[in-house]
Amino acid sequence: MKTLKKGSKKLINAWAFYDWANSVYPLVISTAVFPIYYTSMANSFANTEGDISFLGTHWNPTTLYDYTLAFSFLIVAFCSPILSGIADYTGNKLKFLKGFCLMGSLSVMGLYFFDGASTLWVALLCTIFASIGFWGSIVFYNAYLPEVAFPEQQDKVSAKGFMYGYFGSVVLLVFSLVLVQKPDWFGITDPTLAPRITFVLVGLWWFGFAQITYRRLPNNVFNHKPDKDYIWKGFLELKSVFKSLGQHSQLKYFLIAFFFLSVGVQTIILMAGIFGSEELGLPTLNLILTILLVQIVAIIGAYLFSRLSDKIGNLATLKITLFIWGIVCFIAFVLDKNQPNIDYYFYAMGIVLGFVLGATQSLTRSTYSKLLPETHDHATYFSFYDVTEKIAIVLGMIVFGILIALTGFMQYSVLALAVFFLLAFLVLYKIKRTTHVC
């Protein structure tokens, strides 16, 4: 197939289409259907104190899920710098993208076999490998951004990817909602079967649509030729990038700010469904409708904030989103299941969250890309970006779980996340205004 030129519409669309393929995982599996299904299943075999047994120990179901995700992110944080360094030196970003995508999609489909206490280990193991597959592939997907788009295109291209992702994931979530709520329409009588079918659909969607991206993305654009010691070259590249951060203060401060905001953003995304189910007692239909609303508003938010960044700059726009994230934390803190019309309050919080969700994710990716020095080692630099986010998630999940154990309420865990948004807001002031990131 003919190699597409950097900046071409076809190449950009092919790159962005991987968001369409993979975004069903964070929406349906990480946020919507699986956390709610996991909670209902765990409650069905929990003891009188609400704990479940795993590896000979009694666990709070939410805490066990927290720590399982944290463990997966810790593995990604450890592995991705090594893999991306190797990928940069050998020019095999596409190969690694395909490998992690395959791992993730197969693991998601493996969740189908979680149907009770005896298969809890399947749920936790597949959760770990699906998370590793998704986030591992994102390292290499993000690293393609500087190779498919010029700096002046990257804000809009990054936003396009997230908008593709929101559209695609909404399509599958709507079908999943119908399947879960009206299983009799499909001749399904087992109450656990409908959500488990959605897990298989997510895996097939992710792997199937990724093939469109694979056909168009270039590989080894810089014609790297690996030597016999290319694995050790990957370590050396990683070390050199780490040292270079001392010479690029703008990039260093941005990574610090990104770390703090990721603690808040990613933890809220991962725990929103369980928060609504366990803390507010909302039924599955209300929860999935809220998450669906978040996705629709996120499409609008990503577009509007990308336009706003053209006028006032990336950094100023990010500060606005961080302020709004702080408001979301305080709204969640004051919510109580005994309040009248609690579902409407949850919907309102979802609208506010959705408005800044796509904008924050899109702007952080494009801003980081703009701050990179002139280099061919994009995957290695983006691995730092990825590792920063994953370690932040580990911290966020641990803080969330510890505060639940200490207080017995999730509201205090959410309120604590506001502190991290404040820290990110303050660190962004250390970054100087420039012509391309003003």
pLDDT band, very low/low/confident/very high, at 435 (cuts 50, 70, 90): very low
Highest mean pLDDT among 40-54, 83-97, 264-278, 332-346: 40-54
pLDDT at 222 over 60: no
Give 2 or 194, the one with higher predicted confidence.
194
Rama region for 322: left / alpha / beta (φ>0; ψ in -120 to 50; rest): alpha
Residue 201 lies in a domain: yes
pLDDT in tens, 178-210: 998 889 999 998 888 999 999 999 999 999 999
pLDDT at 99 over 50: yes
Based on the structure, what is the number of domains in the chain?
1
pLDDT at 382 over 90: no
The neighbour count for residue 246, using CB atoms within 10 Å, is 8
Q: Which residues of 95-123 are buried (b: 16+ CB within 10 A; e: fewer)?
A: ebbbbbbbbbbbbbbbbbebeeeeebeeb
**pLDDT at residue 225 in the model:** 58
Cα angle, residue 102 at apex, residues 99 and 106 outer, rounded to 5°: 145
Residue 361 lies in a domain: yes
Q: Percent of the chain beyond pLDDT 70?
A: 90
Least confident of 26-30, 180-184, 229-233, 259-263: 229-233
Give 127 or 291, the one with higher predicted confidence.
127
Residue 438 lies in a domain: no
Residue 436 lies in a domain: no
Give the whole-angstrom CA distance, residue 58 versus residue 240.
45
Mean pLDDT, to the nearest integer, of 50-55?
85
Six-digit token string for 295 = 């996705």
Least confident of 159-168, 305-314, 376-385: 376-385
Angle, helices 314-334 vs 284-312, to 10°: value is 150
Give one DSSP letter per residue of 118-134, joined into a string: GGHHHHHHHHHHHHHHH
pLDDT band, very low/low/confident/very high, at 159 (cuts 50, 70, 90): confident
Cα angle, residue 108 at apex, residues 17 and 13 outer, rounded to 5°: 0
Domain that holds residue 392: 9-220+229-430
State which H helix or E strand residue 58 sits in.
strand 57-59
Residue 4 lies in a domain: no
Mean pLDDT, to the nearest integer, of 160-180?
87
Residue 55 lies in a domain: yes
Least confident of 133-137, 170-174, 245-249: 245-249
Mean pLDDT, to the nearest integer, of 341-349?
82
Mean pLDDT, to the nearest integer, of 386-409?
83
pLDDT at 367 over 70: yes
Least confident of 218-227, 251-260, 337-346, 429-438: 218-227
Domain holding 280: CATH number?
1.20.1250.20
**pLDDT at residue 88 in the model:** 62
pLDDT at 31 over 90: no
**pLDDT at residue 422 in the model:** 93
The neighbour count for residue 373, using CB atoms within 10 Å, is 12
- Please report, for residues 5, 99, 282, 333, the alpha-carbon distance to residue 62 in angstroms, rounded to integers and kept in the order given: 47, 30, 16, 18
pLDDT band, very low/low/confident/very high, at 350 (cuts 50, 70, 90): confident
Spell out the residues 6+ positions from residue 66 whose beta carbon is closer than 8 angstroms to its own: 271, 397, 398, 400, 401, 404
Residue 105 lies in a domain: yes
Mean pLDDT of the chain: 83
Spell out the residues 6+ positions from residue 424 whose beta carbon is closer than 8 angstroms to its own: 257, 258, 259, 260, 261, 264, 322
pLDDT at 260 over 90: yes
Residue 413 lies in a domain: yes
| Count of helix runs (H) and strand runs (E) in the chain | 16, 2
pLDDT at 403 over 50: yes
Q: Could you tell me the pTM of the whole model?
A: 0.79
